[in-house]
Amino acid sequence: MLVPAKWVASIWQESSGPFTRWIQDELPSNREYWIQSHRLPSTVATAGSRLEPPVFGRDRNPEASRADSMAVARPLRFRRAPGRWTPGRVDTEIRQPLDNNLGASAGQPWFASPDGYQARRFDMDDGSMALFCWTNHEDNPPSGTDPGPVGYWLGNTETPRALWNTDKYGFGEVSYGIQRWSERELLAALRESAPWLEPYEHLAWFFLPVFCSKDGAETTRRFFKDHAAGLPDTDHESVLKFYDSLLRPGILDDYRETMASKLGTSQTMDLVRMSATMAEFHAAKLLTDAGYAITPEIGVSTGHSLDFRADDSQNGHLIEVTRPQPVQNRAAGTPVAAVRDTAATKVDGQLAAHGGGAVLFVDCSSFPDDDWRSVAGERPDVRHRPTVVFRTRPTGRVEAYEKGAVPVSVDDAVTWVDRWL
C-alpha cells in the first residue's frame, strides 16, 4: 500500500511558523512537489491485518440517542501514560479492550514512528482510529514531567480503561517528533475520507484537531463544504481557497489549538456559533493586513477575555469581535436592525463589564450582497465607540465603515464605504 507524498504538502514560500517547519521536514531539499511515495512497513501486510484507512467522522451509530447527539466534542489531544510499555502490554491493555467493545485491529503505523519510539495504529470497525507510541526514555518531555518510560495515546474513539486518569496534552505540548508523526498519520487519513480538502493543505493542518475529533469531525467538515463556512453568495471551493490563503502566512499558527477548538464543540450543527467563530479569523486577517501583531484571548481584570490585542510599534489595543446574522436567520426585521441588536448584546454584556477601552469589530460577512448594501448605505451607529463595521468576501475584499475615533488604523486593509457611496 502506498501513502502518496502529495498528501503531505506542496507549500513552501508562502507561510511561516509551525506549519512551515512541518512542511520543510516532509519535502526534499530540491523542492520537488511529487516525490517518491512512502511505503508501509512490510510487517503491516501480514495475514489478518487491516489496510483500509479509517473514515473520520463517519456516522458510527445512526441510532444514537438525542443525549448522545448533544455530547460535547473536544479537540484531539494526547494522553500521556507514564510507565513501561511493551508490545504485549499494548495488546492486552489497549487492543483487546478496543476489540471487545468496537472490533479493532492493530498494526504498524503508515509512517515511520518517532525516533526512539515504538508505535501502533488501531483501526476500529466503526471507522474510528487511534495511535499509540511509547519509549523507555523521552528526550524532551513536557514541562514538569519525568522522561519516562512513557506512552502517548491519540484517538477519536473510546479510551481504554488503562489510559483513564492520564494527563492530556495538545499537539504543541508534546515533542516535535511525536507531533509531526501523528499529524502525518492524521492528514493522510483525512485526505482519504475528505479528498476535497486535499488542495488546501494549511486549512486541513490548522483545523486537524477538530476535523479528526471524536464528535466534531462531521459538523466541522460540513460547515466548510456544505455551508461555505457561513459566507453567502459563493461556493465552497472559493471559501476553502480563501481560508487556506488567510491561514497560510502563519498569523495564527502559534494559537492553532485555541482558535481551531472554537469551531468544533458539538455533534450538532450550530451555524450561528460556527460563523461567529470565523469572524475572529476575519478580524485577525484585517488587523495583520493593516500591520498589527495580534494575540488572541486576552484576559482582563473583570475575569472576561477579549478576542485580541493588536500591537503596533508603540501601543496595544484591545479588540472584541461580534457577527450579526442575516435577517432570514433572526427576529430583527432589517439588516440595519440586525447590526444594532447584535452589537447591543455585546455592548450591554462583555464590553459593559470591561468598562471601556476596547474597539468593537462588527463582522457583517454573513450578509448577502443586498443586505450589506443596505447597511453600508445607512452606516448605523451601534451604541459603542470606537467601532469598525466590516464585511469580508472570499475574494479578499473588505468593505467597512467606522464610528468614533478608532485607535487602530486599518486603511491599508479595507475599502471605506463612505468614500464610494
Q: What would the pLDDT profile of 148-161 be if each residue is shown by its tens digit?
A: 899 999 999 999 99
pTM (whole model) above 0.85:
no
Could you tell me if 75 and 174 lie in one domain? yes
Contacts of 237 (CB under 8 A, 6+ apart): none
Q: What would the pLDDT profile of 253-298 be if each residue is shown by its tens digit?
A: 999 999 999 987 567 889 999 999 999 999 999 999 999 999 999 9
Q: Which three cell numbers stand for residue 393?
A: 468576501
Could you tell me if 278 and 392 lie in one domain? yes
In contact, 196 and 225? CB cutoff 8 Å: yes
Could you tell me if 64 and 165 lie in one domain? yes
Could you tell me if 164 and 290 lie in one domain? no
What total number of domains does the chain contain? 2
Contacts of 328 (CB under 8 A, 6+ apart): none
Contacts of 345 (CB under 8 A, 6+ apart): 322
Could you tell me if 50 and 180 lie in one domain? yes
How many CB atoms sit inside 10 A of residue 215's CB?
A: 22
In contact, 335 and 380? CB cutoff 8 Å: no
- 368 upstream amide cis, omega within 30 of 0: no
Half-sphere exposure of 401 (CA within 13 A, CB side): 18
Q: Tell me the C-alpha distance between 193 and 272, whole Å.
A: 26
Could you tell me if 388 and 285 lie in one domain? yes
Has residue 169 been placed in a domain? yes
C-alpha pair distances (Å), 145 with each of 82, 90, 150, 166, 371: 9, 22, 10, 12, 55
Q: Please spell the DSSP secondary structure of 376-394, one letter per residue.
A: HHH----S-SSEEEEEE-T
Has residue 6 been placed in a domain? no
Could you tell me if 54 and 177 lie in one domain? yes
**pLDDT tens sequence for the chain (421 residues):** 334 333 333 333 344 456 555 555 554 333 222 223 232 332 333 223 332 333 333 333 333 333 333 344 578 999 999 999 999 999 999 999 999 999 999 999 999 999 999 999 999 999 999 999 999 999 999 999 999 899 999 999 999 999 999 999 999 999 999 999 999 999 999 999 999 999 999 999 999 999 999 888 999 999 999 999 999 999 999 999 999 999 999 999 999 999 999 987 567 889 999 999 999 999 999 999 999 999 999 988 777 789 999 999 889 999 999 999 988 766 658 999 999 999 988 888 777 766 678 999 999 999 999 999 999 999 999 989 999 999 999 999 999 999 999 999 999 999 999 865 4
- 114 upstream amide cis, omega within 30 of 0: no
End position of a domain, from candidates 142, 176, 193? 193
Q: Tell me the C-alpha distance between 211 and 206, whole Å.
A: 9
Has residue 76 been placed in a domain? yes
Contacts of 34 (CB under 8 A, 6+ apart): 5, 6
Could you tell me if 275 and 164 lie in one domain? no
End position of a domain, from candidates 163, 193, 223? 193
Q: Please spell the DSSP secondary structure of 165-233, one letter per residue.
A: T-EEE-GGGS-HHHHHHHHHHHHHHHHHH-GGGTT-HHHHHHTHHHHTSTTTHHHHHHHHHTTGGG-SS
End position of a domain, from candidates 171, 193, 215? 193
In contact, 154 and 78? CB cutoff 8 Å: yes
Residue located via cell numbers 469551531: 263
Strand-by-strand arrangement of the 118-124 sheet: 104-107, 118-124, 129-135, 150-155, 78-82, 167-169
Has residue 260 been placed in a domain? no
The CATH code of the domain that includes 305 is 3.40.1350.120
405 secondary structure, DSSP code = -
Has residue 91 been placed in a domain? yes
Has residue 219 been placed in a domain? no
Q: Tell me the C-alpha distance between 139 and 117, whole Å.
A: 11
Could you tell me if 54 and 173 lie in one domain? yes
Has residue 247 been placed in a domain? no
Q: Tell me the C-alpha distance between 155 and 148, whole Å.
A: 21
- Alpha helix (H) residue ranges in 42-200: 66-69, 87-90, 96-102, 176-193
Domain that holds residue 340: 270-419
Could you tell me if 275 and 384 lie in one domain? yes
Half-sphere exposure of 28 (CA within 13 A, CB side): 10
Has residue 205 been placed in a domain? no
Could you tell me if 175 and 50 lie in one domain? yes
Could you tell me if 47 and 189 lie in one domain? yes
pLDDT at 420: 54
